[in-house]
Homo-oligomer: A and B are copies of this chain.
Amino acid sequence: MSRVLSGKPYVSDALRQRVLETIRELDYRPSRVARSLRVQRSRIIGLIISDIQNPFFTSVVRAVEDVAQQRGYAVFLCNSDEDVDKESTYIELMLAEQVAGMIVSPTASSNEVYRRLVEQRVPVVAIDRRVDGVPMDTVVSDNVHAACAVVSHLIENGYRRIGAILGVPGASTGAERHQGYVTALAHHGVPLLPELVRSGLPRSQNGYELTLELLAQSQPPDAIFTGNNLLTIGALRAIHEAGLGIPDDVALAGFDEMDWMFLVKPALTVVMQPAYEMGQRAAELLLERIVDPDRAPQAVVLQSTVKVRESSRRAAMRA
């Protein structure tokens, strides 16, 4: 019976038929649980993302699912909600469920859990964010470069008081995008104004509040760079509510997965991360590592797309 199901050879056709028929009659379905217990490994990939409401991650999910399904794996998805404790709890849970491996977008760039996973040869891939000091498979995008390109474009269009709203620097994405911003300013000889830089957890509500803070200053910025999808949508809302026009009163440029900014046409420049490709690459890396747990760790850096809109009237005037 077992041999028939697992497609093993050495079974006569007659017996095979008989077994197949009985299976149908009894509406028998194999227990994956028992199988997992026996082989000490399931056909499940764990995917732990830090915010299921962020379209970047939903694209990642779709990609991982597509690759996994194609290779006969199911995906077990958890949402750590930018909470390190939840993240660790879910990792434990995945372990207890005997997942074949996991893909995680780490909430913080240092977390001892990952060292243990790697040492215990648990297949694991970090996506979107790096983990410091642990040699593991990683898929990220070119954050420094993309942020630098966007901010440079603002500068080249005549903006000088450029505010920044970034994710918390605990995650590598926040730190790297901040670095890109600083680099762009330095490169063009534009002074860095610390009072125009804010950071918070990457949620649209924070983007909204931090933008209002910037706009309320006695000398508000003439442009704002947003270092994350959700911060962007929050900033957009704040600027609209403040009754300001984009880009004439204040320009806006930054990360945008859903093309929100181009939809409402206020942005000079947006960055789109290759979310789907990142998810695919992560899933592929994971499957490779499941096959060969001792392969050397790989770090994949994918390129973001920087979309530039023709400059606005005001931008043209300034230039």
Contact = CB atoms under 8 A, between A and B. Distances in A.
Given A55-B53, A263-B240, A264-B264, A29 B95 contact: yes
A75 B75 contact: no
B53 A42 contact: no
Contact of A52 (B42, B61, B233): B61
A237 B264 CA distance: 8
Nearest to A94: B74
Contact of A265 (B29, B65, B240, B260): B240
A34 interface: yes
Which has the most chain B C-beta neighbours within 10 Å: A37, A95, A98, A236?
A37
Number of identical monomers bound together in the oligomeric complex:
2
Interface string A242-277: 000000000000000000100111000000000000
A312 interface: no
Contacts of A240: 263-265
Contact of A78 (B32, B33, B74, B95): B74
Interface residues of A, number: 39
Contact of A59 (B32, B53, B90): B53
Interface in A33-69: 33-34, 36-37, 42, 52-53, 55, 58-59, 61-62, 65
Contacts of A78: 65, 74-75, 77
Nearest to A236: B263
Contacts of A55: 53
A264 B79 CA distance: 30
- Pairs of residues from A and B, 8 with the lowest C-beta to C-beta distance, nearest first: A77-B77, A32-B96, A33-B36, A264-B264, A33-B37, A53-B58, A33-B98, A52-B58
Interface of A: 29-34, 36-37, 42, 52-53, 55, 58-59, 61-62, 65, 74-79, 81, 90, 92-93, 95-98, 233, 236-237, 240, 260, 263-265
